[in-house]
Amino acid sequence: MNVTRREFGRLTALGVAAQFAPALNAQSGKKIGYAVIGLGRIADHFMRGALLTGNSAITGLVSGHRDKADKIAAQYNVPQGSIYSYENFDEIAKNPAIDAVYVALPNSMHAEYTIRAAKAGKHVLCEKPMALNVAECESMIAACKVANVKLMIAYRCHYEPIQLKAIDLIRTGKLGKVQVIESAYGFNEDAGEWRLDKKLAGGGPLYDVGIYCLNACRYLTGEEPTDFSAYASVVDHDGRFDTVEENLVWTMKFPSGAVASCSTTYGAPMDGYFRVHGSKGLLECTSAFGYENVRLRGFYSGTRIDESETTPDPYQFQAEADHFSNCILMNKEPQSPGEEGLRDLTYITRIYRSAGIPI
């Protein structure tokens, strides 16, 4: 997606220009070296994305499975001396090739490894949800501030061109006043996945995929919700949902008067989308939270829109790595800092309380 300097200036005013900052500002030559903590599915997307940037490199791996780490190290030219276990992780402090870490662990481990990385003097890019609860988020933010390292939460949709287009149309008033937002995301989760264990995940689909709907309503409106009402249920009593909810639906009200209705599930396929109803038009984004094929359709003031992002995965991970590396190189604050993750955990807490779910 090509952006002129005039367009970049307009996006900057809206606070959504983060994806394009590297192309205009990045220092040439220097690459930020990342140690990837946890070598699961999402780590693979990130590593492939980082490889496509001009300012990021994979320079370390952290895993409990040495054979797996050895294979990945060969792919990314990571030396054997830069492969760590969880036990000797703190030794990364002595490795000058590692500037930052990417935390791709189960949610229950985010706080521990963010804090340990900060104490080792490394910047932190942590996957969402940020942590299990508000207290852990606050500890992560405090540890990074004390260590004078940057903390970014991997909200990749903040750097996705179609999402930025939707934000631009809404924030510049083309859609008129936002009245109602609808959003949903979910899938049928398999038995045995760690996401079904509350001790590891913190909660059910709201933590994992419903958070995309929550966060989208916030960045689309540019507002923070003030009121919540929620309902949760378990339909399939097959052992998968002994500790987490299967379905959750909630509504939110914003200071402007706009209201949002969101749904998430682990019991059915639910393609991620959002639909924004404004006084002058409608925007609908499909595959909104997936890794590719994001599409925006709608109309406003007689103008129709139908745009798609055809760049294949892992372009969203490339964008977020590019952005965070540029923030480190240019000493800038990330577009999605720890405070962004903290706000979502604060709202998740209120949603669960409304639904009668202890957290």
Q: Which residues are catalytic?
A: 128, 212
Instruction: Quote the DSSP letter at residue 328.
Output: H
* Token pair 């720890």: residue: 338
Contact call for residues 107 and 202 (beta carbons, < 8 A): yes
Determine whether 88 is exposed, middle or buried from the number of CB atoms within 10 Å of its CB (0-12, 13-18, 19+).
exposed
Long-range contacts, 283-286 (Cβ 8 Å, 24+):
283/166, 283/169, 283/170, 283/175, 285/162, 285/163, 285/166
Contact call for residues 251 and 263 (beta carbons, < 8 A): no
* Token pair 């997307």: residue: 45
Name every residue whose Cβ is closer than 8 Å to that of residue 249 and which is 6 or more positions away in sequence: 230, 231, 232, 261, 262, 263, 264
CA–CA gap between residue 256 and residue 171 (Å, rounded): 13
Long-range contacts, 310-317 (Cβ 8 Å, 24+):
313/45, 314/45, 314/46, 314/48, 314/49, 314/52, 315/49, 315/52, 316/49, 316/156, 316/157, 316/159, 316/160, 316/291, 316/292, 317/45, 317/46, 317/48, 317/49, 317/50, 317/156, 317/291
CA–CA gap between residue 249 and residue 261 (Å, rounded): 7
